[in-house]
Every structure is written in structure tokens, then in C-alpha cells.
Chain A
Amino acid sequence: MEPETSTENEVEQGSKEAVLTARRSFVGILVGVGTAAVGALLAVPLVRFALYPLFARATNTGLSDLGSVDSFSNLSAPLQKMISISQRDGWRESVSEKPVYVVKDAQGRLKVLSTVCPHLGCEVPWNTQKQQFFCPCHGSAFAADGTRIAGPTPRGLDSLDTTVQNGHLMVRYQYFRQLVPDKEVVG
């Protein structure tokens, strides 16, 4: 039997039943709307709860010491240094080691580069033979000061904020959004 026919038959039945159906449908709509409203209200804390990590304040990592500025005075090639940084990871605070490169820019100023490829986040090592940073994942290449040479990367290696305190080079480790042409801090 076609459902369309049965619906039409129902409608054509006596007016008393039509009134009853209408009344029941009205209650049905009230119940439906009421349940949806209460449900939506209760969903608010659930959504806030589940999305909390997205809105939690990014932890501002402190400065890490890379050693005295003098020790970098005769830097000829990018120098890899390990720094230990503390990061808030949900309910834990993890102390981890991160590699960075200390390089000199065109003007001879010290610059600290993140080793995270701005393309898709692989670790980029310094290739002494080619004299460039070469990403092993997708072949992006960067000059000794981090500027983009070739490959799919949208920008050069990201430089980290640095300051000099008591003759020591200090760096603030940060992560940057990948796949965008301009450097953008994500945490």
C-alpha cells in the first residue's frame, strides 16, 4: 500500500477525529519544541566542556638560555642547540627538549630558527654538503639564514624571539601555523 494514499484517507475521516489528531499534533509540537529547547540548553555546557582545550589560553613559555653571545661570535654555519621548554599539556606540564638553530642573518646579527618546517611540520636538518636546510619530507629548501629557496613551503623557516640578558642569548620557543604564507603564532 502506498503511504501517500493512507495519509489522505486519514485526513478525509470524520471531523471529530481530525480535531483529535490536530490536538494531539499540537501537544506533539509543544513537547517537541520544549524538549528541543531544554536539550539545546543542556548542550551548552557539554559543548563548552568539549571545546575547552581549543580556547584555553596558550601557555606563554619562558625564555631559554642558549649560552653567551660571545660563544657564537665565529659562527660560520647554522649551529643546532637543544633547549628545554616547559609546556602546559592539558592537565600536565611537560618539560621537553626542542632543537633550534642559531644562525647569522645577512647583516651578521644572531638569529634563532625553529626547526619545524612551515609546510607540514617535519624537522628540518642542516645539510652541510648542500649548504642549505633541506626538509626530508617534501624537499623544501632554505638558505642558511632560513629564507625560502625552493619546495612546497609557503614561507621561510620561522625565527624565534630572542633577547640578550647578561651577555646570554635567550630565546622564546613558539609554534607557528603551517601552510600559511605569513608567520602566525599558535602556541
Chain B
Amino acid sequence: MSEPTPDSTAPDSQGSASQRGLRNWIEQRTGMNGLLQEALDEPIPGGARYAYIFGSGLLFVFLSQVITGVFLALYYVPSADHAHTTVAYIAKEVAAGSFLRSLHVYGSSAMVIIVLLHISQTFLYGSYKGRRELLWLSGTVLFALVMGMAFTGYLLPWDQKAYFATAVGTNVPSEIPVVGNVVKEVMRGGSELGTLTISRFFVAHVLMIPGLIFLFIGTHIFLFRKAGPAGPMNEDSFHPKLPTQSFYPRQLLMDLGLALFVIVILGSLALLYPAVLGPEANPADTQFLPRPEWYYRSLFQWLKLWTGSSVVVGIGVIPLIVVVLFVGLPFIDRRAERRPWKRPLAVGLFALIFGGLIIMEGWSYYADAHDPAVAKQLALQDRQTKEYMQEPFKPERQGAPLPTGPAATAASVAALGAGAAVPDDAVAAGQETFESHACNACHGAGGAGTPMAPKLAGIGKKRTAEQLFDLFNHPTAGMDKGGMPHFQFTQDDVKGLIAYLDSQQ
């Protein structure tokens, strides 16, 4: 590149001749300097403040979610067959997998916390006033999209708590009169939660909602720059009068301070308390107590308050009023006054709703801790999750069952030559009996055993069919105490069960 010799009096920070040459080359083709100047020289009435850092903080965490999310998708498979295995693979085996997944999991909480701070700041400063209705509206859409990301992402690991929390979550809309059931079935891709639900939630989580978020972030920033920063609460939101300070460097440094703070917090949490994964979803489990993630706990508690005919009020009328007030805020509150102490009605309502959510949140956790049966079950679920996390990763078996030892190999080669190994009838019948009586709900899939009930796989080595048949008809005190139902099995049922359980070793 042959560029004119630069002025030797130029400050060092302008860079060497070749750097300047390259910069000019790019500038002539992109006009990048102008754009950068436009972004950095944004005038802030009243100067930079820490109160204004949350918007860019959200953008930062969102980008972190996009990056970690894209990387997680390198291993994740959205199907009921593989979702849990692939998440376990990420969490237990892939290098830095637990760390990146934890950043993503905790990042979702960070998004919700910072979006609430951003909304609170905007509300208290009256920054939605002064021809900023569309700016506020695009913000409410972004808030809904962020909550949608949190909701759809929660199901994807397909562990017990993901499954049952989403089963409850997708049931909520079915309370809406007339269209409720259709909404539920569209969300689930059918009447039940299954592999189609994962596909839907995955597409919503990684394609549709992120696309909309990018679109609305663009709109939100465009509208923000058009209206200009509202400045402090004593500033006139239509015609700013206070002396301005440019975004760069002070506000940028404050914003970067928040970004650094978030990195340190999320990074430390991810290292010290890696996000957990529970045992794989077992739809037959009747004991599992679903609990949503903390950001949906207050709504969860709120829904519990309403039963019978009052449900329409609780989950229909009141939320609708709150949504209308929230979305329509800049249209309803049209006075120019921004100082919160001069806006008692608006601030009072905001405090009532926000305070109500906090009370519901606390109430939910308090109620769980003070109901012994619930506390016990939740503790058990936590224990099962911890135990699952300590187990080594088990790859998913594909194809023919793997034989062991030379003789078995020869046999299996012969079997493979003749076609696939056919499970014999007793095993199939036993599996049918085992699953139709929901034995797996307590004894685990394939009778692998759970903390609730003993392992049954390979039971034929310990007891004969006669002994087991006898045991079903004369249960021990321990079985009754553990909640083992009294099944009326035939001799053939028991033989089938043994055949099936012996095949599950």
C-alpha cells in the first residue's frame, strides 16, 4: 500500500504510518469513523451516571448468551431421545462444557435481573415520557421475549425438573376460556409433552425468539437514539436543557464496569457452583414436585391462590389489567412530570405490583420450607440430582446390544448375520407389565433402582419366580412402608417381569 507520508507531529496514539493507512483505507470504504463518532459522541443531558448502565448491560449479557448458546448447540440434540444425554455429555464430559453451560444457565437469571433493573430505572426516572411511547413499547416486547427465552430454554435439558415445570407452565394457558386448549396444544405440539415439544421449544429458543430479539434491539436502540437519552429526573424530557456530556469516555467506562462485574459474578458462580442436571425426565413419575425457576416462582405462587370460578379473575382479568397498564404506560401517564415523588399514583401502582411479586416469591419459598411433606420431597429431588451429577457419563447405546467375551461375540456375529437379535416374548411381555404398572416411577427405568425403591434389574439371580409371586401376595412391612402398591400379578406376569429385569443388567 502506498499512502502519503503521515505528518510527523501526529500524536503517537494515532498509530504508525501503516496503521493509519489501513484505517483510511477502511474509512474510505465504510465511513466507519463517522458511525463510531456518532455512537461515542452521543450527548447525555446532565452527564454520565451509573443509573444508565443497565441497557448496555443487557446487551452485553445477551451477547454472552448468544455466544455460549451457539457453542452449546455444537453438542445439543433437540429430541426426547437424546436431549438429556447430550446435555449430560456437555456437563460431564466435554472440556469446559460445565463452565459454558453454567454461564448460559446463570446468564438467563442475569438477563432477568438486569431487565428488571432496567425497567425500574426507566420507570422511576420517568424516562418513557416525551415522545418515547414507541421506545417503551419496543422495550415491553423485548421484556416479553427475554421471559420467553427463559421459559423455552428451561425445558431443553429434559431432566425431571425441566419436564415437570414445563408441563405445569404449558398447562397455564389452558385456563384461558375458549382458546386456552388450542394455545396449550400449539405450544406442546399435541396434547402431551413429548419430543415434538422439545423441537418447538428449541426452534423458539434458538431461532424465532433470538431473531425477534435482534430485530427489537435494533428498533429499541434506533428509537433511543432518535429520542435521545432522557437524562436525570429533573430534566425536561421534550427539550433537554442541562449541559451534556458525551457517552465516551465516562458513560462507556461505567457500562464496561457493569459488564466486568457481570463477567466476574457469572464466571465465579459457574466455577464454584456449576449448574446441575437432574435425572432424565420420567413422565411416569407421580411423586415429582414441579417447581419453576426463581423468576417464575411469584407467578407460580399467584396461580396457586386462585381456584374454582375465581381462576378467571386470578389468571385472566388481573394479569390482563397489569399488562395493559404496563404496556400502555406512556399513553396513560402523559404528564411531563418525571420526579417519582410527584407521581404518587404511578409509583404507588408500580410499588404495589413489584412488591406483590416479591411477596409472592418469598411466600412460595416459605410455604415449601414449612410444609414437611413438600420439604422432604424437594430435598429428595435435590439429592437425586446430586447423585445423578456424581455418576459418570453414560453414552447412549446405538445398534445391536454389545456382546461381551469371545463366545458372546461369535454368537452375536451369527445373530447379526441372520438378522437382528429378536427380544424374546417373555422379555417384551415383562417390559409391558413393568411399564404399564409404572414400576419405573419408583424403581427407575429398567428397574435400575432409585433412592425411593431398590434396584430390580437382575432380580432373577436373587429370587425365583415362585418367591417373587409369593412376595407380591404377601408384601413385607418394609414394602408397605415404602409405598409399594399391592399388585395382583399372575405367575406368567412375574415370569415376564423376571425375564425383562434380567435383560436389563
Contacts and interface: CB of A to CB of B under 8 A. Distances in A.
Interface of A: 3-4, 7-8, 11, 18, 21-22, 24-29, 31, 34-35, 38, 42, 44-46, 48-52, 55, 63-65, 67, 82-84, 86, 88-97, 165-166, 168, 170
A65 B13 contact: no
Nearest to B417: A82
A89 B399 CA distance: 12
A18 B11 contact: yes
Contact of A91 (B13, B75, B252, B263): B75
B411 to A, nearest CB: 9
A19 to B, nearest CB: 9
B246 to A, nearest CB: 9
A161 B28 CA distance: 64
B249 interface: yes
A45 B98 CA distance: 10
A4 B25 CA distance: 10
A74 to B, nearest CB: 20
B326 interface: no
Q: Which 7 A-B pairs have the closest CB atoms?
A: A45-B96, A91-B89, A25-B13, A95-B399, A94-B398, A93-B395, A65-B409
B248 A46 contact: no
Interface in B119-137: none
Given A22-B13, A90-B89, A45 B100 contact: yes
B7 A8 contact: yes
Contacts, number: 129
B94 interface: yes
A67 B410 CA distance: 7
Contacts of B406: 63, 65, 165-166, 168, 170
A22 B9 CA distance: 13
A99 to B, nearest CB: 12
A5 B505 CA distance: 81
Contact of B398 (A38, A93, A168, A170): A93
Contacts of A42: 263
A95 B85 contact: no
Contact of B412 (A44, A55, A84, A96): A84
A91 B71 contact: no
B10 A49 contact: no
Contacts of B9: 11
A49 B100 contact: yes
B231 interface: no
Interface string B388-427: 0000010111111111001101101100110000000000
A52 B96 CA distance: 9
Contact of A84 (B3, B85, B95, B413): B413
Contacts of A45: 96, 99-100
B97 A4 contact: no
B103 to A, nearest CB: 8
Interface string B1-17: 00110010111011000
Contact of B96 (A31, A49, A91): A49
A23 to B, nearest CB: 9
A3 B24 contact: yes
A67 B413 CA distance: 10
A95 B397 contact: yes
A55 B260 CA distance: 31
Given A8-B7, A11-B10, A64 B409 contact: yes
B492 interface: no
Contacts of A7: 10, 14, 20, 24
Contacts of A25: 11, 13-14
A30 B117 CA distance: 28
B364 interface: no
> For A8, A42, A92, which residue has the most chain B Cβ atoms within 10 angstroms?
A92
B71 A50 contact: yes
Contacts of B470: none
Contacts of B412: 84
Nearest to B87: A91
B261 to A, nearest CB: 12
A159 B182 CA distance: 62
B339 interface: no
B382 interface: no
5 contacts: A11-B7, A11-B14, A25-B13, A65-B413, A91-B393
A3 B416 contact: no
A2 to B, nearest CB: 9
Given A21-B11, A24-B248, A96 B399 contact: yes
Contacts of B86: 91
Contact of A46 (B100, B402, B416): B100
B67 interface: yes
B291 interface: no
A83 B413 contact: yes
A3 B27 contact: yes
A48 B94 CA distance: 9
B289 interface: no
B85 A26 contact: no
B97 A52 contact: yes
B431 to A, nearest CB: 21
Contacts of B95: 48-49, 51-52, 55
Interface in B76-97: 82, 85-86, 88-89, 93-97
A38 B263 contact: yes
Nearest to A23: B249
Given A82-B416, A170-B406, A27 B396 contact: no
Nearest to B3: A4
> For A42, A45, A91, which residue has the most chain B Cβ atoms within 10 angstroms?
A91
A3 B75 contact: no
A7 B95 CA distance: 48
A175 B236 CA distance: 74
Contacts of A51: 95
A49 B97 contact: yes
A64 B416 CA distance: 14
B186 interface: no
A3 B94 contact: no
B253 interface: yes
